[in-house]
Chain A
């Protein structure tokens, strides 16, 4: 089996193991810092990976994504500030446990649940991806365009608080991606006479601006320069240890939540935070001790953490088979694939099957690494981060973002792009738009336009081709159904309030 071969490659390569360990540490630390997202960290280190071998670069970033999803729980439990959006579900019970002097116990539950969820997600990915790729090979331009359409609608309506602003974020992403030279007719579009824009807006500086500078500006608006000191009751020996009898009641929640996370991970645009909250909600409904949830139930930490990390592996499925990122991190990985000359899509499994399965193997090893680091070291990471003043951290992040944007192509214009989209990212956060929907749509728009125009060339009846091909029609209906469902939910919530 290719995965066994991949594991052998990884375990016999000290360099790869080193990069996976670096990714596990980086992701955990970054995820644990409130206000610094894993996406921001990946955006900043992405230019550094240009100097690395493709597999080392991909494995480093992939493991940062996995480990970062887990790392968010550290800040959520210790500082009552989730390090990632998904960790907001962990925060509900996690911080209550910390206030009861059980921070270490809570973090151990989070670690074990994340590891189990991540493993289950990865196993589902490894078993299912060959099948998904074989189906994807049979899809033509009309079907692919319909999938893109459904992805845009789902991303725009589910991500973020407002349907209108979520969709608007997606359409702004589409519009920005149109800048440059049209690949079919070679006409300039939206370049405003600037030669630097004829190649389009570069993804890397855009992401650094949106996720790093945008976040720094948001934090600057709120922050003080002090450190995040909180008085916590000390951990007693009993509260430091986690026994099997305590964790046993979490197991059904972990297994259920892992499946929830895996299914949601396969759907583009939904992501970890939705999986975590759905898992928390379902878990609370089915729990025998539901009255304890919200007051410091260990199960209330286990469920969202398992779901959160179970998203990681399956979110690679639409990315690798269709080129549709399932998450912001996936959108960034597309950039890495492109830079290293690897074409993603269904033919990836024909041309680079070994690379793909070795990447999955790197993910499995990465889970082991962050699991061990987290189980024995999460508390120490949290204490260290607590001591770093925001006034020291954010300026360094800002200065690093500058050089990271310049690093991409050695162009100061990219730094200008970074600043522009930094302001855009800040304003998007301020007015409840969705930077995630923006960047995913930005990445997808080129493929969507290409398949749309190819479909029209294939068709004898114009746009009717999307309605006469059953699979294409099915995906269009899924997208519209998703929109209708969300709108219905919005009006229902509004009338209830």
Chain B
């Protein structure tokens, strides 16, 4: 008989794992000056509760009347967006805000289905410009400092 992994086992496992990790980490919190557990109480309580709720969820799923075998991740698009956001922050830390935004904006619009080359090119120019004016000029926020080089800083001369 083919075994179907129920979608609902995933949160159950996640809760137990999170609770177990929380308990283990909480036990490593230093005791206070009177050797008391003060700082450990709430984290341990929350972690144990998560473990217990995870077990309950597991039991509930095991005895459920209906099998929930719907696909957990029907689309890869959210994962692609997560990848883009991580790449974005990596680029901002190294090349500064403006170049990174110019590169990432067309990619994000394309991910959401916009394919017009003119629009994508315009977004690479207008989006960083708009955010620069609003946040770095009008509100006076200091842009992130680039670790490698920042073309915007090089162009402005400081």
Q: Do A and B come from one complex?
A: yes
A residues touching B (Cβ–Cβ < 8 Å)?
A: 48, 51, 164-165, 167-168, 171-172, 174-175, 178, 182, 184-185, 187-190, 192, 213, 216-218, 220-226, 389-392, 394-396, 398-400, 402-403, 406-407, 410, 412, 415-416, 419, 422-423, 426, 430-431, 433, 445, 448-449, 452-453
A184 proximity list for chain B (CB < 8 A): 32, 38-39
B78 proximity list for chain A (CB < 8 A): 217-218, 220-221, 426
Q: Is B114 an interface residue (CB 8 A)?
A: yes
Query: Contact between A394 and B112 (Cβ–Cβ < 8 Å)?
Result: yes
Size class of the B contact interface (CB-based, 8 Å): 35 or more
Query: Contact between B86 and A391 (Cβ–Cβ < 8 Å)?
Result: no
Q: Which of A172, A226, A395 contacts B18 (CB 8 A)?
A: A172
B residues touching A (Cβ–Cβ < 8 Å)?
A: 7-8, 10-11, 15, 18, 22, 25-26, 29-33, 36, 38-39, 41-43, 46-47, 49-50, 53-54, 56-57, 60, 72, 74-75, 77-78, 81-82, 85-86, 88-89, 92-93, 101, 104-105, 108-109, 111-114, 127, 131, 135, 139, 141-142, 144
How many angstroms between the C-alpha atoms of A94 and B85 in the bound complex?
38
Query: Contact between B111 and A449 (Cβ–Cβ < 8 Å)?
Result: no
Q: How many A-B residue contacts, CB cutoff 8 Å?
A: 156
Query: Contact between B50 and A410 (Cβ–Cβ < 8 Å)?
Result: no
How many angstroms between the C-alpha atoms of A226 and B104 in the bound complex?
21
Query: Contact between B89 and A167 (Cβ–Cβ < 8 Å)?
Result: no
Query: Contact between B49 and A165 (Cβ–Cβ < 8 Å)?
Result: no
Query: Contact between A431 and B112 (Cβ–Cβ < 8 Å)?
Result: no
How many angstroms between the C-alpha atoms of A419 and B87 in the bound complex?
11
How many angstroms between the C-alpha atoms of A449 and B15 in the bound complex?
22
How many angstroms between the C-alpha atoms of A151 and B77 in the bound complex?
37
Instruction: Give the 7 A-B CB pairs with smallest separation, nearest first.
Output: A225-B113, A185-B32, A182-B39, A391-B112, A217-B78, A175-B46, A174-B46
A171 proximity list for chain B (CB < 8 A): 46, 49-50, 53
Known: A392-B112, A395-B114. 4 other contacts (CB 8 A): A48-B139, A168-B11, A430-B72, A445-B42
Query: Contact between B50 and A223 (Cβ–Cβ < 8 Å)?
Result: no
Name A407's closest neighbour in chain B (CB-CB): B141
Most A CB contacts (10 A, CB to CB) among B46, B77, B105 go to: B46
Query: Contact between A225 and B22 (Cβ–Cβ < 8 Å)?
Result: no
How many angstroms between the C-alpha atoms of A185 and B86 in the bound complex?
36
